């Protein structure tokens, strides 16, 4: 005999992902001659849901190693950059309890500098990253419950007879 029951559970009800591009300009105290390297460290972000969007608010630290005075000296410029981006999410489940939303956001591609140029003594950066956002909500699902049959219990009792406990001893 089978029965159908409803279970309330948390599930992914909407998801989306986005490749984000951030452009930023940095001014230096010295006149940069060439860029020797760029690193991004200390990336942090928070995700919040608002209607059919997930808002991402984040910060990252950019370190730029550059030369000055016609490649005779070097310096490192450090700057913290803040950003705000929105990710559109697509509903996967239509019927769920709206007030139970949680957001999980994961980095699919860590932030990297894709372009660094010096234009009129200002360093222009292009940064790229990719984030996946999932909205978790409470929903109901139906499951079929199979109730035990008495004859199946008898088969379990017979297992003791069929097991050879001396198998490992080689007898």
Confirm if 97 and 139 have CB atoms less than 8 A apart: yes
Helix and strand counts by DSSP (H, E) for the chain? 2, 7
pLDDT tens across 113-136, in order? 999 999 998 999 999 999 999 999
**Tens-place pLDDT, residues 89-101:** 999 988 887 777 8
With b meaning 16 or more CB within 10 Å and e meaning fewer, what string describes 17-32?
bbebebebebebeeeb
Please tell me the distance from the alpha carbon of residue 108 to that of residue 110, in angstroms, as a whole number: 7
pLDDT tens digits, 55-101: 999 999 999 999 999 889 999 999 999 999 999 999 998 888 777 78
pLDDT-derived band at 155 (thresholds 50, 70, 90) equals: low
pLDDT at 171 over 80: no
To the nearest whole percent, how much of the chain has pLDDT over 70?
Answer: 86
Burial 82-96 (b: 16+ CB within 10 A, else e): ebebebebeeeeeeb
């Amino acid at each position: 005999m089978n029965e159908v029951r409803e279970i309330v559970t948390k599930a992914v009800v909407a998801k989306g992902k986005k490749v984000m591009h951030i452009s930023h300009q940095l001014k230096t105290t010295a006149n940069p001659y060439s860029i020797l390297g760029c690193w991004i460290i200390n990336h942090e972000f928070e995700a919040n849901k608002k209607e059919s969007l997930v808002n991402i608010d984040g910060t990252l630290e950019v370190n730029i190693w550059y030369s000055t005075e016609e490649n005779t000296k070097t310096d490192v410029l450090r700057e913290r950059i803040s950003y705000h981006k929105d990710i559109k999410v697509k509903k996967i489940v239509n019927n769920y309890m709206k007030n139970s939303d949680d957001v999980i956001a994961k980095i699919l591609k860590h932030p990297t500098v894709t372009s660094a140029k010096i234009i009129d003594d200002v360093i222009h950066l292009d940064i790229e990253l990719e984030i996946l956002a999932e909205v978790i909500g409470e929903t109901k699902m139906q499951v079929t419950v199979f109730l035990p049959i008495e004859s199946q219990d008898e088969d379990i009792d017979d297992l003791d007879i069929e097991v050879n406990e001396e198998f490992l001893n080689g007898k």
